[in-house]
Structure 1
């Protein structure tokens, strides 16, 4: 368990009452084109010229201090969060509800400010289930926002790892995107002293954090997705091969190499959303994984 504090306390950056009431109305918007237009208008009214941050409830029992001006996913979560990666979150919630794992182990690679990790926390609380979450985020500014959101939500079951992820260990440097922190990326470097980010393969990250089994994983590594998966399949024990993988694929018509790699290792493409692919592990390849579920991954 990880105890965190938030300074200034949550609520200090709350929207004025009328704007908060308007923001909450966005949650009632239908999940269709008309709803999207309504939510977009409400976001603009709530943010206006105010720089933020804004303290809001994003999911039931889960809170966040959002900076919508500099991060696209934080902007999407400010109002109308029902539109934020809806199919992906529903699939993760269904996987949690159907799983016999205790705790359910979720690894969030490229966690950003924690919207996937916090969704699992919210869903687990609603179901009365135990979860163990590892959120991996290398960018120090974004990671500070993630830690603030975990503190605001009392999400002590979420551990945070500050490294980047790829096929093999090494070092790299953060390259910032102009206008969207979610597109910051890690550039590998041969100069370990000049690079401030440690890069690790999935197996080593799990070893360092006491994780011996993964039930679900989200991967959004800005160019390192295939390499991270290649390292997992090549070197990590099969107990670390998740039953459900959500991986960013973009909008191209062709299946990207990361998806084809999963298909080659016994996964099936369950669904392709606007930006992601949902891959499920086949029964034959998951046999050893099922057998390991009586051994929790270090949860309290």
Structure 2
């Protein structure tokens, strides 16, 4: 007897907003890519220019908060923004069509890069799931390490170590900050719909008159874009001091135990009164700006780097030209994916866990100079190319494109995750002359453990013969995998195996006269002092000379006598 397939868990966002068109479109595009089944938007301005644009998407439910709307709720339009938010959230909870609902501001993004939101929610027994907040920091240089566009700070734990770090990082303003934050520390809450006697609210629902904060999600975050450069930040500060949460009436309610001058609003107002913009610039630099002084936050897990691709998602989803296209998320892992191009080659990119793909996605491909030289060498020739450590296929694809269709590319990649991406990129470009060999190369044949890359970079997966960690992969030798270069105009080899290069070449030197030495070899020669042999020197004895040198890599040419 056939069993029916269990329906997937659905989720939606609800937001009251009056924002720029691009801010609204960024919010919608991001959450649809994340897999939201419905986006409920309550527009404070019934004539908002974004309404006509977002209404065309069947997953977006628009409510114009005009006089007719408020009359339907049988309440006058509340003057306070938070009161309007609360009314709209509770109204939406009554008619939401999804299993879960989360209230968000337009500058708040659900982040679950690496997990599927619906799958995470399907495993929860509690009707409430809290997303821990992370607050955006400004980056003067534009990008953090490893080409992440955004850096967020998390809450500093209330431990002795946490208090020491808060004082070190945020002095002299640490006492007016709540866990190091400018904004709310509560986070936002996924709430299961259809729960009797549950009253939805902005920060956590109430059940039987008591706020239910539920369980805190491990694999999902709330990213609060509460930051930006000084001018952008100043606009928000002035509004909050005059009309928002930094007003004395709100600060007294939040921190009754302190004198008003010691609250966040009091400190900001005092700085502005005493020193004007210069005083606030000092605060922005100390509290809101990412740099070396914020490194101690890493010790307590309070730094998070990511790329949200907000502008690119918006342009892709709403019909404008974008370098990155066809955004989506992997239905198994939740990883955000998109199509990107480098020259005439298209790749399906998964930037969050691979530096190479991330570089292409941001428009700054790694090893661009070396790649262009390799392309020039292979152009319009029948090439035999060995790609050792093929990763997602950047070199394999480019050489296949540059050379004749009768070229042959042999790509070695032992990591199953990267093999899948490599094959997908080969199919995407319809190349028929690339052979994927799912093996690592070393000194002998057998099995070996591959330690997977850390720190968001699968490209750093490496052979670790002494470790039982990672995954077991097949190990072969380079000479046994090579074929005769006869009939080819040119033979080339690129190797990038995270410091294991010497082990790959050792079998070649053992039978140097009997192996097929390629015309060109490209490798990361900066490793040479770390290897247990002088690989560059040994290649020189074979007849290789420097052809093209960069800071990290060298392309060697075999001089034939």
The alpha carbon displacement at 1:157 in A equals 0.8
State the distance in 2 between where 1:95 and 1:199 align: 30
Give the structure 1 partner of residue 371 of structure 2.
89
Match of 2:416 among 140, 143, 146: 140
User: Residue 559 of structure 2: which of 271, 282, 290 is its match?
Assistant: 282
Matched, 1:48 2:153: no
Name the Cα RMSD after superposition.
3.2
Which residue of structure 2 aligns with residue 170 of structure 1? 446
Q: CA deviation at 1:49?
A: 6.4
- 2:359 match: secondary structure: helix
Structure 1 residue 74 corresponds to structure 2 residue 334 = no
Counterpart in the other structure of 2:398 = 119
1:174 deviates by 1.4
Cα separation, 1, equivalents of 2:508 and 2:420:
27
Count of aligned residue pairs for this structure pair = 234
* Paired residue secondary structure (1:223): coil
Secondary structure of the equivalent of 1:278?
A: strand
Q: Are 1:273 and 2:546 an aligned pair? A: no
> 2-side partners of 1:74 and 1:236: how far apart?
36
Change (3 A) 1:273 1:66: same
1:246 corresponds to = 522
Q: Deviations over 1:45-90 (max 9, x none)?
A: 9941675111222331x21111111000001111325x43122212
1:125-169 Cα offsets, whole Å, 9 max, x none, are xxx553210000001111111111111111111000011011222
- For residues 130 and 252 of structure 1, what CA distance do their matches in structure 2 show? 35
Consecutive unaligned residues in structure 1, runs of 5 or more: 1-12, 14-36, 285-300
Alpha-carbon distance change, 183 to 112 in structure 1, aligned in 2, over 3 angstroms: same
The structure-2 alpha-carbon separation of the partners of 1:251 and 1:149, relative to structure 1 and needing over 3 Å to count, comes to: same
Q: Distance in 2 between matches of 1:190 and 1:76?
A: 30
Partner-residue secondary structure (3-state), 1:135: strand
Gaps of 5+ in 2: 1-32, 34-140, 151-305, 311-334
1:240 alignment partner, SS class: coil
SS for the counterpart of 1:222 is coil
**Residue 54 and residue 252 in structure 1: after superposition, are their counterparts in 2 closer, same or farther (change >3 A)?**
same
Aligned to 2:235: none
User: Structure 2 matches for 1:254-265, cutoff 5 A?
Assistant: 257-265=534-542
- Alignment counterpart, residue 219 of structure 1, candidates 480, 488, 495: 495
Residues 242-284 of structure 1: CA deviation (Å, up to 9, x unaligned): 1100011237889982222211211112232132111110122
For residues 105 and 56 of structure 1, what CA distance do their matches in structure 2 show? 26
Q: Does residue 106 of structure 1 match 2:385? A: yes
Q: CA 1:113–1:202 in structure 2 vs 1: closer, same or farther (change >3 Å)? A: same
Q: 1:183 Cα deviation (Å)? A: 0.6
Q: Which residue of 2 aligns with 1:298?
A: none
Give runs of ≥4 in structure 1 deviating > 6 Å.
37-40, 251-256
Cα distance, 1:159–1:254 mapped onto 2, change above 3 Å: closer
TM-score (norm 2): 0.38
Q: Which has the higher contact order (CA 8 A, sep 6+)?
A: 1
Equivalent runs, 1:186-201 vs 2, <5 Å: 186-188=463-465, 196-201=472-477
